[in-house]
Copies of this chain bind each other. A is one copy, B any other.
Amino acid sequence: MAFSVAVAGASGYAGGELLRLLAAHPEFRIDTVTAHSNAGQPLVQVQPHLRSLAHLTLVDTTPETLAGHDIVFLALPHGKSGELTAALDPSTLVVDCGADHRLTSEEDWAAFYGGDYFGAWAYGVPELIVGDGKQRDHLVGATRIAAPGCNASTVALSLAPGIKAGVIEATDIVSVLAVGPSGAGKALKTNLLAAEILGSANPYAVGGTHRHIPEIAQSLRGAGAETVSLSFTPVLVPMSRGILATSTARIVPGTPAEAVRAAWHDAYGDETFVHLLPEGDFPRTADVLGANTALIGLAIDEAAGRVVVVAAVDNLVKGTAGAAIQSANIAVGLPESTGLSVNGVAP
C-alpha cells in the first residue's frame, strides 16, 4: 500500500534530491512533480540524473496540482510556501523544506527573514534531543513538518547531547562550517559560478548574520540551554555537496572526560542515522555523500577547555531531503529508515 506523493519545486537541487530518494522508497509513489519556469518540460530534461522518473512531466505549482495526495513535499524558495500550504487540505501531510515554518519566535523570523510570519511546524530532525525525549516524539502523526536548515540541524545535532547532559556550556559556542555550493540552490549569482568556487575557499554571512543562527539557538534551548551564544561562520569550499561542521563549546569545569564522551554516546548509541565515531576518528563529508547519515567525531581539548565536535552531513540528504522523508516516515507510521540509506558514496 503506497502513499501518493507530490513534490513541489522539483526542478531545484532540494527537489531533485527528494525525488532521487523517493524513487527508491518502497511505500511512497511519486504522482506529481511541479515547477515554476520549467513547468511543461519532462522532469528528466531538468534532472537528467533521475532516469527512473523519465515518465514524469513537470506541472505548475498550484494548490490544485498539489491537491489529492497523501503527502506533499515542498522545496520552494523561502517565503513561497506559507500561502500555498494554507490552501492545502489540513489532513494532507505537508513537509516543507523551506525556512517558512521553522522558527517558533516571530521576533527571530522578523530579524533574520522578514515578511509574513506563518508560524512554526513540527521540526523534522528526529534524533534531536528535546526536553526529556527526542524530536521524533513530536513527529508521530504530524500533518505539518518543517524540514530543517542543513547547517542548523548539523550544528544542533553536534551539540545538543552535551547541553542536555550538562557537560558543556551553551554561552560561548563557535561553529565554522565547510559547505558545498549546492546548499545555496540553483540561483544564478556570480559568487556561485564554478570559476569563483573552484580552487578557492569563500566565507559568507560572517559575523552573526546567517539565518540558521536563530534556528540553532532554538534547538539548543530545546535541549536545555538557558542562553545560547553562537559565533557561526560558513565557508564555501569546492565540493558540490556536504557540510563539515566544526563546533566547539567550553566544557563545564570539573567534568571528567568520560562524562563528556558519554553524553554523545548515550544520545546517539541507538540511532540508525547519527553515529558517534570511535575516539580519535573524525568524519569526512565523502563518507556521507548521498546518505541520510550524520557522522560525529569528538575530541576533548583539555588545554583549551573545549570539546570539539566535528560533524559530517550531506546537506541535501540528512540536511534536507532525507530529513524530510525520515520525518514523513514517522508521521505516517512507517519504520523511520524506510527508503533511506546509511551508506555514503565514497570515494
Contacts and interface: CB of A to CB of B under 8 A. Distances in A.
Interface of A: 13, 16, 20, 23-24, 47-53, 172, 174, 176, 178, 180-182, 184, 186, 188-190, 192-204, 206-208, 229-231, 233, 235, 237-242, 244, 246, 248, 250, 275, 277, 281-291, 293, 295, 297, 299-306, 308, 310, 312, 341-347
Contact of A282 (B186, B204, B304): B204
Given A188-B190, A206-B246, 6 more contacts: A16-B347, A49-B343, A51-B275, A176-B233, A194-B198, A207-B308
A10 B289 CA distance: 20
Contact of A208 (B233, B283, B286, B303): B303
Contact of A301 (B193, B208, B250, B347): B208
B13 A239 contact: no
Contact of A284 (B181, B202, B300): B202
A286 B196 contact: yes
A203 B188 CA distance: 21
A42 B304 CA distance: 32
A16 B192 CA distance: 18
Tell me the number of copies of this protein. Answer: 4
B201 A198 contact: no
A148 to B, nearest CB: 20
A244 B197 CA distance: 13
A346 B240 CA distance: 9
Contact of A199 (B24, B206, B289, B305): B289
A284 B201 contact: yes
Contacts of A49: 286-289, 291, 343-346
A172 B81 CA distance: 42
B190 A192 contact: no
A347 B196 contact: yes
Given A24-B341, A231-B304, A235-B178, A242 B200 contact: yes
Given A194-B197, A208-B299, A286-B49, A238 B237 contact: yes
27 contacts: A24-B341, A48-B346, A52-B342, A176-B246, A178-B235, A180-B195, A181-B193, A181-B198, A186-B193, A194-B197, A198-B347, A199-B240, A199-B242, A199-B286, A200-B239, A200-B240, A200-B242, A200-B285, A201-B239, A201-B242, A201-B244, A204-B282, A208-B299, A229-B304, A231-B308, A237-B238, A290-B290
Contacts of A200: 239-240, 242, 284-287, 289, 346-347
Contacts of A250: 172
A208 B297 contact: no
Contacts of A305: 172, 229
B343 A52 contact: yes
A201 B229 contact: no
